[in-house]
Chain A
């Protein structure tokens, strides 16, 4: 059973519009959440994170929202740019980092 789910395998968005990537988790012990971006033939790179004590974290064009009661988080990218086209992984940990679980990823395509 997947503990971290990303139910949309792919998403296409027009340049300049908002991209919203969703992630759901099942383990209530998770209290730290991260988003990674991965280009082909490269390792994932850290994008943004959020602790369970917050419900929003913003870094430039990237904002992560956390809804603990729904066990749901989302990544908003606005405005979307063609260079944002990549696979985005949601990840969750239990703060001791010993249970680090990744979702299956969502492939984002930003169309010029």
Chain B
């Protein structure tokens, strides 16, 4: 497809379990971002990958959150030992230039 894709679209998990969220950016886009949107809140920046540079992890809320980007393309956001406050929509975006991002449809995570 031509756009950013994310999987799964919905994920329900129990508190304490680990989850992995996947993002396939647009081909050729060197920058990849992860955000989350909690209910009634704006977009919260989590992590940023640019090419082969070390990622900017400044937005990750705790050490339970980690992300990797393999081969400069697909990215996986992992949340370990999920908590109820992790429930949110997790959005991935990619860009070819620094300032115009294309977003995926998001993964809605519900932690019971």
Q: Are B56 and A98 in contact (CB under 8 A)?
A: yes
Q: Are B98 and A103 in contact (CB under 8 A)?
A: no
B21 sits at the interface (CB 8 A): no
- Chain A residues with CB under 8 Å of B106's CB are 41-43
Size band of the B side of the interface? Answer: 20 to 34
B1 sits at the interface (CB 8 A): no
Q: Are B35 and A95 in contact (CB under 8 A)?
A: no
A65 sits at the interface (CB 8 A): no
- Chain A residues with CB under 8 Å of B4's CB are 43
Q: Say yes or no: A34-B100 contact (C-beta < 8 A), given A89-B43, A97-B48.
A: yes
Q: Are B42 and A102 in contact (CB under 8 A)?
A: yes
Q: Are B100 and A100 in contact (CB under 8 A)?
A: no
- Chain B residues with CB under 8 Å of A93's CB are 98-99
Q: Say yes or no: A102-B43 contact (C-beta < 8 A), given A96-B98, A97-B95.
A: yes
Q: Are B42 and A103 in contact (CB under 8 A)?
A: yes
Size band of the A side of the interface? Answer: 20 to 34
- Chain A residues with CB under 8 Å of B93's CB are 43-44
Q: Are B48 and A100 in contact (CB under 8 A)?
A: yes
Can you list, as one digit per residue, whether each of B23-48 has a CB less than 8 Å from chain A (1) or not (0)? Answer: 00000000101010000011111001
- Chain A residues with CB under 8 Å of B100's CB are 34, 46, 49
Q: Are A95 and B42 in contact (CB under 8 A)?
A: no
A43: contacting residue among B41, B50, B91, CB under 8 A? B91
Chain A nearest CB, measured from B2 CB (Å)? 13
Which residue of chain A has the shortest Cβ distance to B3 in the bound complex?
A43
Q: Are A98 and B48 in contact (CB under 8 A)?
A: yes
Chain B nearest CB, measured from A8 CB (Å)? 13
In addition to A93-B99, A97-B98, A100-B101, 7 A-B residue pairs with Cβ atoms within 8 Å of each other are A34-B100, A43-B93, A43-B105, A44-B91, A44-B93, A46-B101, A103-B42
Q: Which residues of A contact B (CB under 8 A)?
A: 6, 32, 34, 36, 41-46, 49, 89, 91, 93, 95-98, 100-105
